[in-house]
Structure formats: C-alpha cells, structure tokens
Amino acid sequence: MADLSGHPLNTWLEKFLQFIKYERNLSAKTIENYRRQLHVIALQIQLEDWSQLNTDHVKKVLGHCRRQNLAPRSIALRLSALRSFCDYLIAEKVLDCNPAKVIHSPKLGKPLPKHLNVDEINSLLEIDPDSPLAIRDRAMMELTYGCGLRLAELAGLDITDINSDRQITVWGKGNKQRILPMGRTAALWLKNWLKVRSQLNPPQDEPALFVSMHRRRISHRQIAKRMKLWAKQKQLDQTVYPHKLRHSFATHMLESSGDLRAVQELLGHANLSTTQVYTHLDFQHLAKVYDGAHPRAKRNK
C-alpha cells in the first residue's frame, strides 16, 4: 500500500479514525478495515480537500472496484466506510451532504453460515486432557460453543471476568457488556484449565484467561489455528473456526427453544434481524408451531 503520510486528505482521515476508536468504541479490526478502505479511496480520487468530494468521485471509486473485479461484499465494505466517513465530515461541517448515500451498493446474498450438528460437536470436543494445551483448547471450544462467544470475546476474556462457577462477563462489540450463563461442561473445563494455566508460565500480572506458549494472551489467529487443527485430527468433513461454533450454539439453542429473543440476548445482537440471519429454525419446528397456534391450521379429524 502506498504511503499516505503528507497527503492533503490524510488529516481528516486520522481524525475520523480517532473518532470511531474513542467515541464509537469500534473494534480494532473494524478500525483497521476502515483505515484500509479509506486509504485506497483517498489515493484513487486525488482531491486537494474533502470538501470537494461529490457523487462523481464516488462513482469513480465504484468504477475502480469493478475494474479490479472486487467481490460484491468488498465493494459494499468500501462504500460503507466512505458513507460513515462522509457522515463524520458533515458533522464537522466539512461537507454539506453525503455524496456516497445516493450510490447503491451491489446486492449481497445472505447465505446462512454452516454449522456443526450435535454429533460433530461431540466428536470435536472429545479431547483427551493429556497436556495443558489440550485442556486449554478444549476449555476454549467448550466456552465458545457453550456460550456462543465471538472470537474477539473469547480472546479478550480476563480471569476476573469469571463471576462464579457458572457465570462469565463478556465484552462484545462496541465494548458492550453482557453476563452469560455457563453450562456444566464449559464450567468444568474452565476449572480444569485454571488448574494448569500456571504451567505455561504467564507473568503474575498477566490478566488474560487464555494464554499461549509465548506466556501472553493467545491471539485470534492462534485460536482459529488450534480449532482447525483439532477438527482435522477428528477427521471432520468441514473446516472448523470460531464463528462456526458460535453459529452452532445459536442454531441448536433456537431449534430446541424456539425463543428468538432469548438467543438474541445470548449472542449480544443489537437487532433481532441480525439473529434471524445467523440462526435458523428447521421446517418441522416451524410447521409444529404453526399447526399448534394458527386457528386455520387445525385439520379435521
């Protein structure tokens, strides 16, 4: 990526990135995505000042995306970053209107994420506790599946976030806190991990619940790598990654309870529509609810 330092558009970009970090509390990953997308846009349009930005420039950005054969989701991300940035510039009285709002993003399909069935989950989590790493990995996967955690939430857990034997505090998107119940199995393996955590020799002042062989908080990449490794060892037919365990949690909870609102709270979704995208009821359950509830559904016997 070309260096943007000294570029006339860079000052407002940096102010915006500081704003979404400290005022909106967006995650480091989101901030980096915005930085990357806006960096590319600034180099493409080559303006002297953001106050000159108009719809022709936004169309130019869209044209670059299409010539590069970017996927619809990547194009939507770039336009979304630009819209948010323009809203900030309007608030700062640099722009009078948002030229990116009249440019439509490409339509995105909404494929449901794949999930593991209960037998696959049981196979994945049958890990022999023959080493501290094996115990740690099982505890991480039991917590992810047992509580429906995001990857960042799992990696960000501190020892002090364990409220009791059956309850943890989680910090979700936008630094929003939620308190989650733990199942007996997740609580058991978390307790097993805490007994052997010291064998990885973390510093006494290391707050992280899960640490790596490097004696510090385990990284997102390493968590994903370890889950993929266990899935391969268990000879599962599909790749396993943290979000697949989260989606499996949501799917199994929803199929068993049918309580969409409760699953929304457990997942930490701000909007119910998000839960509807990431979870699904099987048709038999829907048909059963319909037959039992709708007055026109009852059949003559």
Provide the annotated active-site residues. Answer: 150, 173, 243, 246, 269, 278
Q: Which two tokens stand for residue 141?
A: 């996967």
**What CA–CA distance (Å, rounded) separates 128 from 121?**
15
Tokens linked to 301: 């016997």
Q: Among positive and negative, which fits the CA dihedral 72, 78, 81, 86? A: negative
* Pair type for strands 177-181 and 167-171: antiparallel
CA atoms of 144 and 180, how far apart (whole Å): 12
Q: Which distant-in-sequence residues (6+ apart) come within 8 Å of 201 by Cβ?
A: 215
| Whole-number Å distance between alpha carbons of 207 and 213 | 15
